[in-house]
Amino acid sequence: MVVAVSEVGRQHSAKQQELADALLGIAATRGLDQVSVREVAAAAGVSIGTVQHYFGTKDAMLVFAFRHVVRRTRARVARIDPRLPPRRRLGLALRELLPLDAERTAECRVYLAFAARAATSPGLAAVQEETLTAIRADLRQALAGTAGADHGRATLETEARLLLAVVDGLMFDAVTAPGTLAPAELEAALDTYLDRIAP
């Protein structure tokens, strides 16, 4: 019986992820403000009632899709070879958060739209707070393990806040004003910063 229930749970989750992918496709191409239960149902080829069955409300659907984007990014970071030197791993991990190719640009656009909407949605704000808190904890750990790093008078917490700001700011500037920052310029700026805090 337990097996049967968990099988149902797995199917439920798979269907939710399929609907979340349909939602993210709409958000990436036409903008998050074009997302509705009706549009997601049409894009996924199911009825409105089906979408409502899996998510209940539009807000719950948005929160699920936001977590889905964050999970996808973090899964790529988790696949970085742990045998590489710490500084190299850090550079690769942070590159996963920048719009350096078509896939990451689409993801960054959608992430930005969700994060901007968090300002007026408590459910999305909770996901964003969890996400930033988790990334800063990872960065503190990565910075503590980086040989040769000199943080001067700054605490590790301030260093982690600054490093996340550099990456989020480069992402924000590149996604919102694409003509002003090419991928190679983003990587050069990131490496200039990393060289300074962890040569």
DSSP 166: H
Give 92: exposed, middle or buried? Use CB within 10 Å, 0-12, 13-18, 19+: middle
62: closest CA among 46, 47, 44, 40? 40
Name the minimum Å distance from CB 12 to a copy of itself.
29
Per-residue DSSP letters for 139-191?
Answer: HHHHHHT-TT---TT--HHHHHHHHHHHHHHHHHHHHHSGGG--HHHHHHHHH
User: What's the length of the chain?
Assistant: 199
How far apart, in whole angstroms, are the C-alpha atoms of residue 22 and residue 151?
Answer: 44
* Complex with a copy of itself: residue 19 or 174, whichever CB lies closer: 174
Name the minimum Å distance from CB 46 to a copy of itself.
24
Name the minimum Å distance from CB 122 to a copy of itself.
11
Q: Which two tokens stand for residue 5?
A: 């229930």
* Complex with a copy of itself: residue 54 or 106, whichever CB lies closer: 106
What residue type is assigned to position 33 of the chain? D
How far apart, in whole angstroms, are the C-alpha atoms of residue 191 and residue 185?
Answer: 10
Name the minimum Å distance from CB 5 to a copy of itself.
35
Which residues sit at the interface with a copy of itself, rule CB under 8 A? 30-33, 109, 112-113, 115-121, 125, 128-129, 131-133, 136, 152-154, 158, 161-162, 164-173, 175-181, 185, 188-189, 192-193, 195-196
* Complex with a copy of itself: residue 15 or 161, whichever CB lies closer: 161
* Complex with a copy of itself: residue 9 or 178, whichever CB lies closer: 178
Name the minimum Å distance from CB 175 to a copy of itself.
6
* Complex with a copy of itself: residue 51 or 107, whichever CB lies closer: 107
